[in-house]
Structure 1
Amino acid sequence: MGALQRVLTRSTVATTAVLAMALTACGGGGEPSGSAPANGSQDTGTAGTASEELRQVTVGVMPLVDLAPLHLGMDQGFFEDHGLELELESAQGGAAIIPAVTSGQFEFGFSNPTSVLIAASRGLDIKVIAPGGSSTGDAETDYGATVVLPGSDIDSAADLEGHSVAVNTLNNISDSTVKEAVRQDGGDPSKVDFVEMPFPNMVAAVEQGTVDAAFLVEPFLTAGLNQDMEPVFWNWMEVSPDLMASTYFTTGELAEQDPELVADFQAAIAQSADYAQAHPDETREILTEYTSIPEEAAASLRLPRWSDEVNVDSLQRLIEISSEDGLLEGDLSVDDVVLADQQ
């Protein structure tokens, strides 16, 4: 594993700090905070492109579980094989990465889909080009849930009426999926009190009674479950059994002006996703390299499902619930936001 590839990780100073930044995938803001040239460093046995011929592109990222395929792909040389050298720019969330991509500062970015949909509805030139992590569709293995203390009087989503729920970012995929679960259970989501707080604070906040429930993703979900917290529902699955919870994107202008570059990036990401899905042990190992998640924690984390195709049905569901929650401006269709070759 090359030293340059891990500069992004080694610049972090504490596990909690990294995880606080990392798991704002469900939204959040902040400015891009660091970069590392990251071409693959291992000999995979395939004929890669000579380094002087590689095209350097910048990708806005977060140190998230969902991004494990990207890092595996770099180590396996998949991006080099497609003529690319990646420079990673770290940010706290999609709200920071999106303007960097649409302004041309980055060629590609990573975000939760809801942030992308909101941006597209506001007229930004943004196109989904590849999936990130998706729901496993199985409560035994999925990686996002709303949890409560044992013995809580909250037994279903509708029971959240009149109660407080911690989410990492308001008006985004976190509270939207909670609201959708409440609606589907016959409740009124307007009667739920959403409290914005960082993921690392949520387990303690539930234990101390500061909030009644919390929406947790990994690694905080496993931490909560290990402390006997009980899942009320699994957020991603409430929207779609195979919800695409994160995505890669670029601008329509870049896709039109340099389709070969976009196609090469898509091909390398697809190869990386397939590799990660087929090699969970390597995926867990690399989590300890680009985040500060300890080995023992990585060994028990619930991993996303990785696919090589954009789930347009999942995006359509997110458009529907985002519209119902008033997050989108005007009408928006999947055709508006997904690159044509992914539809």
Structure 2
Amino acid sequence: MRRLLAGLAAGALLSAATACGSSDDDSSSGSASSGGTTTVKVGLIPIVDVAPLFLGQQKGFYKKQGLKLSVSFAAGGAAIVPAVASGQNQFGFSNVFSLMVAQSNGVALKAISNGNASTGVAGKDFVATLVKKDSPIRTAKDLEGKKVAVNTLKNIAELSVRESVKKAGGDPDKLKLVEMPFDQMPAALDKGQIDAALAVEPALTTIRQQGGREIAASFVDVAPDLTVGMYFTSQQYAQKNPAVVKKFQQATAESLAYANAHPDEAREIVATYTKVPASLLADITLPKWPAEPNRASIETQAKLGEEFGFFKKSPDLDALLP
């Protein structure tokens, strides 16, 4: 399955990487060209969450800061974190809970810019736990013993599904969780290979158009106005390259603000790095892209992570967050 995803990403998402200034430069600290432009490698997930970065690149916000982005794609933060920690990528996007888990395992990371947030509205969020139209599953409690797909284990998706089950009166330890890239979830659910999926846009709308039903607004179940994703780097890179980090922060802040103010353009840019058909773009639900993370919602995630036994040691949020 991972090999299949890699093949699909290499072909279908090539144009997105090119649009974002892909480069063959191989530098652990970013490569400066003769024109004074620094190429930085950024690991992303091909989902709606990262639309502001592509929009910012299109609008020249990163170029204005002297940055050229070389983008690579992965199924989730679990694959992006080691690439950034090792210096293969200078920056990455991940759900903030995966960053906490990595830090608790001794990986020295630094979140540097906000990424995205839940809308906070059940039934109108950009992520949900869904089942097939004719499924006997009616509530999250019914997921006990069922096969539920998440993009990667030990991340915000697993945390959220567990919380939905717990809130519905079920036992989250009885879930049968399966790792699956978001773009493969609609077909797997339709074919009955899984019983439910925690899907984000654009996979969420694809499942709904297949007749899928939402049984839990799992991000809303965790916390109101949940901070979901953040852009990050390694502690080592942040210490050695503070000027480049500051430029990335400034360009990303401008990109987030622009995306929030121009939702139609944010929708359109999604088609440049995913295989979402134009007919689907008008229906997808966009996340929020606030300037700052919601610290209270991150603390809630840390508390739940402790409760569910995700951490080897408690995460240090002061060291991790901007």
- What whole-Å deviation, never above 9, does each CA across 1:48-101 have from its counterpart, x for those lacking one? xx9823333222223221111111111111112223222223334323322222
Residue 195 of structure 1: which of 168, 175, 178 is its match? 178
**Counterpart amino acid of 2:230?**
T
TM-fit CA distance, 1:329: 1.2
Secondary structure in structure 2 of the residue aligned to 1:305: coil
Question: In structure 2, what is the equivalent of residue 289 of structure 1?
Answer: 272
CA distance in 1, matches of 2:73, 2:198: 24
Deviates more, 1:273-282 or 1:140-149: 140-149
The sequence identity of aligned pairs, in percent, is 42
**Counterpart amino acid of 2:154?**
N
CA distance in 2, matches of 1:57, 1:208: 40
Residue 197 (structure 2) pairs with residue 214 (structure 1):
yes
Question: In structure 2, what is the equivalent of residue 10 of structure 1?
Answer: none
Residue 20 (structure 2) pairs with residue 38 (structure 1):
yes
Residue 155 of structure 1: which of 128, 138, 144 is its match? 138
CA distance in 2, matches of 1:137, 1:169: 22
TM-fit CA distance, 1:20: 12
CA distance in 2, matches of 1:262, 1:70: 15
Question: In structure 1, what is the equivalent of residue 151 of structure 2?
Answer: 168
TM-score normalized by the length of structure 2: 0.84
- What whole-Å deviation, never above 9, does each CA across 1:143-190 have from its counterpart, x for those lacking one? 111112345443322232233322232332222211111112222111
Sort the Cα spacing of 1:170 and 1:53 in 2 relative to 1 into closer, same or farther, 3 A.
Answer: closer
Residue 75 (structure 2) pairs with residue 84 (structure 1):
no
Residue 44 (structure 2) pairs with residue 53 (structure 1):
no
How many residue pairs get aligned? The number is 305
Residue 103 of structure 1: which of 82, 86, 90 is its match? 86
Secondary structure in structure 1 of the residue aligned to 2:227: coil
CA distance in 1, matches of 2:120, 2:11: 26
Structure 2 unmatched ranges of 5 or more: 22-32
Residue 131 of structure 1: which of 105, 111, 114 is its match? 114
RMSD of aligned Cα (Å): 2.8
Question: In structure 2, what is the equivalent of residue 121 of structure 1?
Answer: 104
Question: In structure 2, what is the equivalent of residue 28 of structure 1?
Answer: none
**Counterpart amino acid of 1:73?**
G
CA distance in 2, matches of 1:88, 1:162: 38
Question: In structure 2, what is the equivalent of residue 44 of structure 1?
Answer: none
Question: In structure 2, what is the equivalent of residue 177 of structure 1?
Answer: 160
Question: In structure 2, what is the equivalent of residue 272 of structure 1?
Answer: 255
TM-fit CA distance, 1:142: 0.8
| Residues 269 and 308, structure 1, Cα contact 8 Å, conserved in 2 | no
Deviates more, 1:309-318 or 1:126-135: 309-318
TM-score normalized by the length of structure 1: 0.80
TM-fit CA distance, 1:201: 4.2
| Residues 319 and 333, structure 1, Cα contact 8 Å, conserved in 2 | no
TM-fit CA distance, 1:219: 1.6
Residue 317 (structure 2) pairs with residue 334 (structure 1):
yes
| Residues 110 and 249, structure 1, Cα contact 8 Å, conserved in 2 | yes
TM-fit CA distance, 1:194: 2.1
CA distance in 1, matches of 2:281, 2:320: 34
**Counterpart amino acid of 1:274?**
A
CA distance in 1, matches of 2:19, 2:214: 40
TM-fit CA distance, 1:257: 3.1
TM-fit CA distance, 1:19: 11
| Residues 47 and 202, structure 2, Cα contact 8 Å, conserved in 1 | no
Residue 186 of structure 1: which of 150, 162, 169 is its match? 169
CA distance in 2, matches of 1:114, 1:270: 21
**Counterpart amino acid of 1:154?**
I
Sort the Cα spacing of 1:290 and 1:117 in 2 relative to 1 into closer, same or farther, 3 A.
Answer: same
